[in-house]
């Protein structure tokens, strides 16, 4: 009986040792998986942080000029630009919003737009485009499109030959001389002409100048690094 009891105890001890060894092995394997998973997450986090820093530097460098690169023939007035690095396949991006600043509130649809200055012109945008205005005393020598601006002190303008462009007068305007204005005339007051002066609406000229006298600017505080 004593011998049988010893054999039984020995088998129980052996079974317990095998069980403990198995549990220890499983624990070690599980612990190794946890370590590998943690290391992988740490590496991914480091890559993401480095990528995000590089992307932030890229967006900070380019945000000052990015809006100016949007084509002027775009029909929208607000658009969003995304900054990304092509070598990364993830969806990490930075963004800015661009708004279109324009001299014209709307495009003229006819040649004579008498008294329509306030309805058609953004007066608050004049400072952005004033240096591009053609001086009234400089008549064009070609058929390219021009924009002429006449302030309240300039109520009469003499032309010689054909002009392709838009003439904007803050107040009254009398056109004298001889020629044809192909485009549009906009005034804040009355418009009158000599019999030898004609005003003919030209859509291509109007469309071109309305686009040229606009520009894209970055909206203030519009930078963000998330998708709304």
State residue 93's pLDDT score: 74
Q: Would residue 5 count as lying in a domain?
A: no
Q: Would residue 9 count as lying in a domain?
A: no
Residues 123 and 202 in one domain: yes
Cite the beta strand spans of 17-154 per DSSP E: 78-83, 94-102, 112-113, 146-150
Q: Would residue 200 count as lying in a domain?
A: yes
Q: Would residue 2 count as lying in a domain?
A: no
Which tokens hold the place of 197? 């002066």
Q: Would residue 107 count as lying in a domain?
A: no
Enumerate residues 6+ apart whose C-beta is below 8 A from 106: 119, 120
Residues 116 and 208 in one domain: yes
Are residues 83 and 62 in contact, defined by beta-carbon separation less than 8 angstroms? yes
State residue 203's pLDDT score: 96
State residue 32's pLDDT score: 54
State residue 134's pLDDT score: 72
Residues 206 and 221 in one domain: no
Residues 117 and 203 in one domain: yes
Are residues 215 and 68 in contact, defined by beta-carbon separation less than 8 angstroms? yes
Residues 118 and 177 in one domain: yes
Residues 126 and 182 in one domain: yes
Range of the domain at 189: 112-212
Residues 121 and 97 in one domain: no
Q: Would residue 175 count as lying in a domain?
A: yes
**Alpha carbons 176 and 164: distance in angstroms, whole number:** 16
The DSSP code sequence of 147-169 is: EEEE-TT--EEEEES-EEEEEEE
In terms of C-beta density within 10 A (0-12 exposed, 13-18 middle, 19 or more buried), how is residue 66 classed? middle
Q: Which residues of the chain have pLDDT under 70?
A: 1-64, 83, 85-91, 135-138, 140-141, 221-228
Q: Would residue 48 count as lying in a domain?
A: yes
Which tokens hold the place of 123? 């007066």
Q: Could you give the number of structural domains in the chain?
A: 2
Q: Rounded to the nearest 5 degrees, what angle is found at the Cα of 48, between the Cα atoms of 53 and 57?
A: 15
Enumerate residues 6+ apart whose C-beta is below 8 A from 84: 55, 92, 93, 94
Residues 86 and 41 in one domain: yes
Residues 208 and 219 in one domain: no
- pTM of the shown model: 0.67
**Alpha carbons 103 and 181: distance in angstroms, whole number:** 20
Residues 195 and 153 in one domain: yes
Residues 98 and 125 in one domain: no
Closest CA to 103 of 131, 81, 128: 128
Q: Would residue 65 count as lying in a domain?
A: yes
């Amino acid at each position: 009986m004593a011998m049988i009891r010893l054999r039984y105890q020995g088998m129980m001890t052996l079974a317990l040792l095998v069980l403990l060894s198995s549990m220890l092995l499983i624990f070690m394997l599980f612990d190794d998986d946890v370590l590998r998973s943690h290391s992988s997450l740490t590496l991914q986090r480091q890559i993401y942080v480095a990528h995000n820093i590089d992307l932030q530097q890229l967006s900070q460098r380019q945000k000052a000029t990015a809006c100016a690169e949007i084509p002027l023939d775009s029909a929208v007035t607000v658009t969003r630009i995304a900054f990304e690095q092509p070598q990364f396949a993830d969806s990490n991006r930075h963004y800015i919003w661009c708004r279109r600043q324009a001299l014209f509130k709307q495009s003229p649809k006819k040649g004579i737009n008498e008294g329509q200055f306030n309805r058609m012109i953004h007066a608050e945008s004049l400072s952005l485009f004033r240096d591009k205005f053609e001086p009234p005393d400089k008549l064009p020598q070609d058929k390219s499109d021009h924009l002429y601006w006449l302030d309240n002190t300039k109520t009469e303008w003499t032309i010689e030959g054909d002009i392709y462009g838009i003439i904007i007068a803050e107040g009254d305007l009398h056109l004298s001389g001889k020629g044809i204005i192909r485009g549009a005339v906009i005034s804040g007051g009355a418009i009158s002409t000599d019999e030898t002066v004609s005003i003919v609406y030209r859509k291509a000229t109007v469309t071109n100048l309305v686009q040229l006298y606009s520009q894209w600017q970055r909206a203030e505080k519009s930078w963000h690094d998330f998708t709304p």
